[in-house]
């Protein structure tokens, strides 16, 4: 039986690795997700065989309840709410690691009276610390994304000092716990400290940097799971947690580069704030030039090259299918159509890729920022749909801007720019967009889905 369990764990680990690899391409992502799901089923099945504390029926009931809830959430969640859902999943992953590690520690030391070895004790402490930070940090990220907590950076005097003191206290409590396993109060105190650190680390992070936070918390959840694997002596949990933790850190580094942040800034929190003393959000009102659907259709009809820049507003309006229809119509008119994808457009890494893939837009047409930025100057028309901060020239020109230094798409260099927006509302960073007042920029106001549908209709008549 032990050989069967180890083989099942090995097969599950291989499926996890293959699945994550396949998630890197849109064409294979669905199959990769399916293979990873099979791997998780094997891991759960092999683990269930070993469990003696509770009955198989109890385990199956929990599996059915959890799977049912997961299916309901997956089917009902709107695409605009996927970042919030990911944040919650990260958080509950951290909570699970904290709860399992603490429960296993309590069972062995308090009820069975066993002496826990140092490796297991360190693993328990790491699981509790990272799991607690992940749980409350993810909840704050969820509340920020959901609008229940201000998306702006929430700071106060001495914030970093308090965070440092709490971290030192957490390390000290962990050391005390390792020297006195019979006293459970140390581990409980560590759990409380970790929950507090999670809140204080995430609240000073500005909304424009939230994609970095999501990927970092995802990495945290993986590292917590990996540490819990050492607590339970479960190989597949160690492998799966290490995969998530490592891939999350790599993605975080990519996000940091895309936003011109250092990883240490992310770990310490408090970034996404203006480095200067000005407040661009309260600056002079920008004078814009509005364009109607009919005039916009004529502009589209006269160009030979088009770059579409999707943003969070596209997700809100669910306009991705209308955009696909527009792009197909333009291609029939021999217009070269491409999509410029900023790494942190939307509310989580890959948000725009997911939406456009859902609309069956070819992955080959999605061009990353570094590859397409030099082409804007040679492009007849750029169509910005709901993007704001990632196309704001202030990131390059205004040192007082909260997003100054963040790499952005060079859309202002195109011959003509049309921006589809519901209103002149600010982006998630809460600042005005200098692009909207540019001489070559036209504003197409209205719901993106409805406006683009009308635009397609007008183009068909030309």
DSSP 245-286: HHHHHHHHHHHHHHTT--HHHHHH---SS-SSS--GGGSPPP
What are the φ/ψ torsions at residue 266 (nearest 5 degrees)? -65, -45
> Is 389 a catalytic site residue?
yes
Give strand pairing partners of 336.
305
Among candidate residues 428, 421, 410, 412, the one with its CA nearest the CA of residue 447: 421
Q: Which helix (H) or strand (E) holds 347?
A: none
Among candidate residues 19, 72, 14, 83, the one with its CA nearest the CA of residue 43: 14
Largest CA distance in the chain: 82
Query: Given CA atoms 34, 38, 40, 41 in this order, what sign does their dihedral have?
Result: positive
Q: Which one of the listed residues 117, 374, 389, 400 is annotated catalytic?
A: 389
DSSP 354-404: HHHHHTT--GGGEEEHHHHGGGGGG-SEEEEES--GGG-THHHH-TTSTTT
Cα distance between residue 404 and residue 259, in whole Å = 9
Pair 246, 53: CB distance under 8 Å: no
3-class DSSP assignment, residue 307: strand
Query: Under 8 Å CB-to-CB from 393, ≥6 apart: which residues?
Result: 408, 412, 434, 435, 438
Among candidate residues 72, 428, 390, the one with its CA nearest the CA of residue 255: 390
Q: Where in the sequence numbering do the catalytic residues fall?
A: 389
């Amino acid at each position: 039986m032990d050989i069967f369990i180890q083989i099942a764990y090995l097969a599950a680990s291989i499926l996890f690795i293959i699945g994550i690899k396949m998630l890197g391409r849109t064409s294979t992502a669905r199959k990769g997700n399916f293979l990873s799901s099979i791997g998780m089923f094997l891991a759960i099945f092999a683990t269930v065989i070993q469990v003696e504390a509770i009955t198989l029926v109890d385990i199956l009931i929990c599996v059915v309840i959890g799977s049912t809830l997961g299916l309901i959430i997956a089917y009902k969640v709107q695409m605009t709410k996927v970042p919030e859902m990911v944040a919650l999943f990260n958080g509950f992953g951290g909570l699970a690691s904290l709860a399992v590690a603490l429960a296993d520690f309590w069972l062995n030391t308090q009820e069975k009276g066993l002496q826990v070895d140092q490796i297991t004790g360190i693993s328990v402490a790491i699981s509790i610390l990272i799991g607690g930070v992940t749980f409350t940090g993810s909840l704050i990220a969820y509340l920020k994304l959901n609008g229940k907590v201000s998306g702006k950076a929430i700071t106060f005097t001495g914030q970093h000092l308090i965070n440092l003191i709490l971290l030192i206290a957490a390390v000290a409590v962990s050391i005390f716990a390792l020297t006195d396993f019979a006293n459970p109060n140390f581990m409980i105190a560590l759990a409380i400290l970790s929950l507090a650190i999670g809140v204080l680390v995430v609240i000073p992070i500005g909304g424009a940097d939230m994609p970095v936070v999501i990927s970092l918390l995802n990495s945290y959840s993986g590292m917590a799971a990996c540490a819990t694997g050492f607590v339970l002596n479960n190989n597949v949990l160690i492998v799966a947690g290490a995969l998530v933790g490592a891939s999350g850190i790599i993605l975080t580094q990519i996000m940091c580069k895309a936003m011109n942040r250092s990883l240490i800034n992310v770990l310490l929190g408090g970034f996404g704030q203006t480095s200067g003393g000005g407040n661009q959000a309260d600056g002079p009102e920008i004078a814009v030039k509005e364009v109607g659907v009919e005039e916009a259709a004529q502009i589209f009809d006269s160009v030979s090259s088009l770059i579409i820049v999707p943003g969070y507003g596209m997700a809100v309006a669910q306009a991705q299918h209308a955009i696909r229809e527009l792009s197909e119509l333009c291609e029939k008119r021999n217009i070269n159509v491409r999509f410029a994808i900023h790494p942190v457009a939307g509310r989580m890494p890959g948000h725009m890729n997911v939406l456009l893939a859902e609309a069956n837009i070819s992955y080959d047409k999605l061009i990353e920022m570094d590859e397409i930025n030099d082409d804007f100057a040679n492009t007849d028309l750029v169509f910005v749909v709901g993007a704001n901060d990632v196309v704001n020239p202030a990131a390059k020109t205004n040192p007082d801007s909260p997003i100054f230094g963040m790499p952005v798409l060079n859309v202002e260099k195109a011959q003509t720019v049309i921006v589809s927006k519901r209103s002149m509302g600010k982006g998630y960073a809460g600042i005005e967009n200098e692009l909207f007042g540019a001489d070559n920029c036209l504003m197409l106001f209205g719901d993106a889905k409805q406006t683009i549908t009308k635009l397609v209709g007008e183009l068909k008549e030309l």
